[in-house]
Amino acid sequence: MIIKLDERLSNMIAAGEVVFRPYNALKELLENSIDAKADNIIINILDYGLKEIKVIDNGVGMNPTDLKMAFLRHATSKIKTEYDLNHIKTLGFRGEAIPAIASVSKLMIKSREGDIGHEVYYEGGKFVHERPSALNKGTEVIVKDLFYNVPARLKHLRAPQTELSLILEVVDYFILANPKISFKITHNGKVLRQSFGNENYETLFQIVFGKDTHKDMLQIHKKIDNITLNIYLGSPKITKARKNDIIVILNGRVIKSYILTNAIIEGYHTRLMVNRYPIAVLDIKMDVSLIDVNVHPQKLEVRITNEYKLANLIKETIRNEFRTKTETIADIPTYKQVTSFEYIKEELELGLEETHIKREEEPIITDKLPFFDYIGQYRGTYLIFQNEDGLYLIDQHAAEERIRYEIYYEKLGVKSYQKPLLFPILLELRPTEEEIIKRFINDLKDIGFLFEEAGPTGLYLKEIPIWLNDEDINAFIQNIILSLESYGSLNLSDLRDNLSKSIACKGAIKANEYLNNEEVERLIEDLRKTKNPYYCPHGRPILIFFSNYDIEKRFKRIV
């Protein structure tokens, strides 16, 4: 038999989707405060949020009638029509948060719109009382004993300190997304975070990410058509093992977007070491009609029209900004950044000036690398040099990778002669991959690849660029497909980059391969011709420097 659930049970079910941890409850309350145009928000937490969560704001308050309505499911002041649902400008809009929280806690809301405040109190979704209340203009929400009536929910919470860290993470997101609002959060009376609403992102980086994270921060402010990008990029020297410190904000809402997050990472290009991620904040403002925020219970994921084009715009904007930054000898990793003769493990600044060398010109030897004398090889992998300043180690594989990368990158940037294959290759592609190649078959011909249909299904590859080795054909085709799948267009920049990396690595000198003096001399000469002799295309360091001071201090010759 089908029955209609009562309001209280419906709210408890909704709470399971919207409010299943203390930080979820806090997030919903903060969204309401911001929607109420508050510019000062105070958050007081007791016992990791389970005993009490209190949010006090100075926003537009509610009158007694609206305050009582706020506890009813799907009661909201933020949308009224279907048009409003498709043009959402507020953080909250469903009218589920307050009744959902009330159903699993003891919830009191005090609010003042005019001269007199009012309060309403619920326990476990049941109305207890309403009455006048003394408070300043704004709203105060007090959530006590969260999940006291749903013990199964309590069993699934993590350690108390973990719950507090998740609460702090939510507050950090709101601090970064709302630089004009001052926030203060306390736990058991101790201040954990405080921002001042002064719109200073250098200060916000220090508050949220820690001391010195603001150093060498790049700021990009750009408007293209109806899209405004405010991008704050931490130095590539300061990296993390996870992507958590890449924050994407869309129209004031922190969202999770794999595509946009990766666009930021790709924007750093080879400035990031392998499996390391930057600190970055991406703040996007765009037409609300191009965004659907009503696709996730917690509003963390959204649908964006032309998201891949937006991602490509972000990536190229960041790359262009970094291209204006020129690395110098001072950027070489030093002994102070390493613990022994192994690779550097922590923050390094990576750099790439994309190569646009004309084919008929000999690359100019730069002074980016110091002049030094070769004195030996360590473990068949690291070349050892010295000069009056100190000792240098060069990774022979990384060095040749960089050389080969820039050569191939340059070749891919100019129109190439084609060479016919002795035997056309019948490509083994999935139907979706084959369709992608067919759609861009003329564009691919322009860069040196001639495809021909092999009946109703299947494709022959008949010609390739003259510089491409046969063993690299498959890698190139897969990179073409990947680029087209990611961006919906033939992104030659990505193709050049990805294929150049692949070919450079395959043919480079390997570790544990002995080089004679002539080979070392030729390697260093070629390395000097590169645009970036400090890092391989994958972000690993090529060279490490030990100053005389560092060495003598290590041997206790200097106190």
Domain CATH code at residue 227:
3.30.230.10
| CA–CA separation, 45 and 49 (whole Å) | 5
Query: Are 338 and 310 part of one and the same domain?
Result: no
3-state class (DSSP) for residue 235: coil
Only one residue has tokens 């009382």, namely 129
327 Cβ partners below 8 Å, 6+ apart? 349, 351, 353, 368, 532, 534
Q: What is the pLDDT of residue 84?
A: 46
Domain ends where: 323, 348, 365?
A: 323
DSSP string, 289-332: GGEE-TTSTTS---EETTHHHHHHHHHHHHHHHHHTPPP-GGGS
Query: Are 131 and 75 part of one and the same domain?
Result: yes
Which token pair is 350? 């990576």
Q: What is the pLDDT of residue 527?
A: 93
Query: Are 313 and 379 part of one and the same domain?
Result: no
For residue 441, tell me if it sits in a domain: no
For residue 156, tell me if it sits in a domain: yes
DSSP string, 90-122: SS--SS-HHHHHHHTSEEEEEEESSSSEEEEEE
Name the domain count of the chain.
3
Query: Are 234 and 316 part of one and the same domain?
Result: yes
Domain ends where: 275, 307, 323?
A: 323
Query: Are 219 and 342 part of one and the same domain?
Result: no
| CA–CA separation, 296 and 307 (whole Å) | 17
CB 208 within 8 A of CB 192: no
Nearest residue to 334 (alpha-carbon basis) of 553, 126, 502, 527: 553
49 Cβ partners below 8 Å, 6+ apart? 22, 23, 25, 26, 146, 163, 164, 167
| CA–CA separation, 207 and 193 (whole Å) | 7
Strands (E), 134-236: 138-144, 182-187, 190-194, 218-224, 227-233
For residue 256, tell me if it sits in a domain: yes
Q: What is the pLDDT of residue 384?
A: 95
Q: What is the pLDDT of residue 17?
A: 56
What tens-digit pLDDT sequence spans the chain (559 residues)? 655 555 555 555 555 556 888 999 999 999 989 988 999 999 999 999 999 999 999 999 998 988 888 888 665 655 445 554 455 556 655 457 888 899 999 999 999 988 889 999 999 989 999 999 989 899 999 999 999 998 888 888 888 888 898 899 899 999 999 999 999 999 999 999 999 999 999 999 999 988 888 888 999 999 988 899 999 999 988 888 778 889 999 988 898 888 899 999 989 887 887 678 899 999 999 888 877 765 555 666 778 888 888 999 999 999 888 877 655 544 555 544 433 323 522 322 232 233 332 333 333 445 678 899 999 999 888 999 999 989 999 999 999 989 988 888 887 777 667 889 988 988 877 777 787 888 888 878 877 889 988 876 678 999 998 877 777 787 778 777 776 766 566 666 666 777 677 667 766 676 677 889 999 999 999 999 898 898 888 888 899 999 998 888 888 887 6
Global confidence as pTM: 0.64
For residue 458, tell me if it sits in a domain: no
For residue 21, tell me if it sits in a domain: yes
Query: Are 232 and 348 part of one and the same domain?
Result: no
Q: What is the pLDDT of residue 353?
A: 31
| CA–CA separation, 478 and 484 (whole Å) | 10
Which token pair is 220? 């990009």
Beta bridge partners of residue 139, listed in sequence order: 57, 111
CB 62 within 8 A of CB 113: yes
CB 118 within 8 A of CB 109: no
Question: 104 is in which domain, residue-wise?
Answer: 7-194
Query: Are 491 and 392 part of one and the same domain?
Result: yes
184 Cβ partners below 8 Å, 6+ apart? 41, 42, 43, 191, 193, 194, 195
| CA–CA separation, 331 and 419 (whole Å) | 42
Rounded to the nearest 5 degrees, what angle is found at the Cα of 94, between the Cα atoms of 44 and 36?
50
Query: Are 18 and 155 part of one and the same domain?
Result: yes
Question: Between the CA of residue 76 and those of 3, 138, 354, 355, 443, what are the distances in Å?
Answer: 26, 17, 52, 56, 52
Query: Are 69 and 182 part of one and the same domain?
Result: yes
* Residue 414 CB neighbours (<10 A): 12
For residue 95, tell me if it sits in a domain: yes
Q: What is the pLDDT of residue 12?
A: 53
| CA–CA separation, 136 and 183 (whole Å) | 17
Q: What is the dihedral of CA 59, 64, 67, 69, to 10 degrees?
A: -140
Query: Are 153 and 249 part of one and the same domain?
Result: no
Length of the chain: 559
For residue 270, tell me if it sits in a domain: yes
For residue 446, tell me if it sits in a domain: no
Which token pair is 138? 């704004």
DSSP string, 325-382: PPP-GGGS-BGGG-SSSS---S------------TTSPPPPPSSSPP-EEEEEETTTE
Question: What CATH code is carried by the domain that includes residue 396?
Answer: 3.30.1540.20
| CA–CA separation, 92 and 74 (whole Å) | 11
CB 255 within 8 A of CB 300: yes
Domain ends where: 274, 290, 323?
A: 323
Query: Are 151 and 268 part of one and the same domain?
Result: no
Q: What is the pLDDT of residue 153?
A: 83
In terms of DSSP H, where are the helices of 362-454?
Answer: 396-412, 431-439, 441-446
Question: What CATH code is carried by the domain that includes residue 67?
Answer: 3.30.565.10
Q: What is the pLDDT of residue 559?
A: 65
Query: Are 125 and 39 part of one and the same domain?
Result: yes
